[in-house]
Structure 1
Amino acid sequence: MSETLLSRAAGETRSAIIEIPAAQGCLEIDDLSLRYGEQPALRGLSLRVPRHSVTAFIGPSGCGKSTLLRVLNRLHDLNDEVTQSGRVLLEGEDIHGPGVAVAQLRRRVGMVFQTPNPFPMSIYENVAFGLRLQAPLKKRRRDEIIEWALVSAALWDEVKDRLHDSAWTLSGGQQQRLVIARTLAVQPEVLLLDEPASALDPISSLKIEELIRNLKSRLSVILVTHNMQQAARVSDYTAFLEGGELVEYAATDDLFTNPRLTRTEDYITGRMS
Structure 2
Amino acid sequence: MADLNAGSVVAARNAADVVTTKMTARNVNVYYGAKQALKDVSIDVSQENVTAFIGPSGCGKSTFLRCMNRMNDTVASARVEGEIKLDGEDIYKGGMDVVQLRARVGMVFQKPNPFPKSIYDNVAYGPRIHGLAATKADMDAIVEGSLRRAGLWDEAKDRLGESGTAMSGGQQQRLCIARAIAVDPEVILMDEPCSALDPIATAKIEELIDELRGRYAIVIVTHNMQQAARVSQKTAFFHLGTMVEYGDTSMIFTNPSEPRTKDYITGRYG
Equivalent residue number for residue 203 of structure 1 = 200
Q: 1:230 aligns with which of 201, 211, 227?
A: 227
CA RMSD of aligned residues (A): 1.4
Moved over 6 A (4+): none
Equivalent residue number for residue 217 of structure 2 = 220
C-alpha distance after superposition, 1:157-181 (max 9, x if no partner): 1111111111111000000000000
- Could you tell me how far 1:80 is from its partner in structure 2? 3.1
C-alpha distance after superposition, 1:85-108 (max 9, x if no partner): 101000000001112100000000
Establish whether residue 87 from structure 1 lines up as the match of residue 83 from structure 2.
Answer: yes
For 1:265 and 1:78, the matched residues in 2 are separated by 35
Equivalent residue number for residue 5 of structure 1 = none
Q: 1:146 aligns with which of 143, 146, 152?
A: 143
Equivalent residue number for residue 250 of structure 2 = 253
Counterpart amino acid of residue 116 in structure 1: P
- Could you tell me how far 1:22 is from its partner in structure 2? 11
1:242–1:22: structure 2 CA closer, same or farther, 3 Å change rule? farther
Report 1:128-167 matches (<5 A): 128-135=124-131, 136-167=133-164
Q: What TM-score do you get using the length of structure 2 for normalisation?
A: 0.91
Equivalent residue number for residue 76 of structure 1 = 72
Equivalent residue number for residue 63 of structure 1 = 59
- Could you tell me how far 1:116 is from its partner in structure 2? 0.5
- Could you tell me how far 1:73 is from its partner in structure 2? 1.6
Q: 2:188 aligns with which of 187, 191, 196?
A: 191
Q: 2:176 aligns with which of 175, 179, 190?
A: 179
Conservation of the 8 A alpha-carbon contact between 2:237 and 2:244: yes
Stretches of structure 2 lacking an aligned partner (at least 5 in a row): 1-16
- Could you tell me how far 1:23 is from its partner in structure 2? 6.7
Q: What TM-score do you get using the length of structure 1 for normalisation?
A: 0.90
Residues 104-113 or 255-264, more deviating: 255-264
Counterpart amino acid of residue 160 in structure 2: L
Compare the two structures and name the one with the higher helix fraction: 2
* Secondary structure, aligned partner of 2:194: coil
Conservation of the 8 A alpha-carbon contact between 2:112 and 2:176: yes
* Secondary structure, aligned partner of 1:231: helix
C-alpha distance after superposition, 1:228-249 (max 9, x if no partner): 0000000010000001111010
Counterpart amino acid of residue 85 in structure 2: L
Counterpart amino acid of residue 52 in structure 2: A
Q: Higher Cα Rg: structure 1 or 2?
A: 2
**Residue-pair matches, total:** 253
Counterpart amino acid of residue 230 in structure 2: R
* Secondary structure, aligned partner of 1:29: strand
* Secondary structure, aligned partner of 1:256: helix
- Could you tell me how far 1:33 is from its partner in structure 2? 0.2
Equivalent residue number for residue 46 of structure 2 = 50
* Secondary structure, aligned partner of 1:33: strand
Counterpart amino acid of residue 253 in structure 2: F
* Secondary structure, aligned partner of 1:198: coil
For 1:50 and 1:189, the matched residues in 2 are separated by 11
Counterpart amino acid of residue 227 in structure 1: N
For 1:23 and 1:230, the matched residues in 2 are separated by 23
* Secondary structure, aligned partner of 1:178: helix
Stretches of structure 1 lacking an aligned partner (at least 5 in a row): 1-20
Q: Percent identity among equivalent residues?
A: 54
Q: 2:263 aligns with which of 263, 266, 269?
A: 266
- Could you tell me how far 1:130 is from its partner in structure 2? 0.3
* Secondary structure, aligned partner of 1:77: helix
* Secondary structure, aligned partner of 1:148: helix
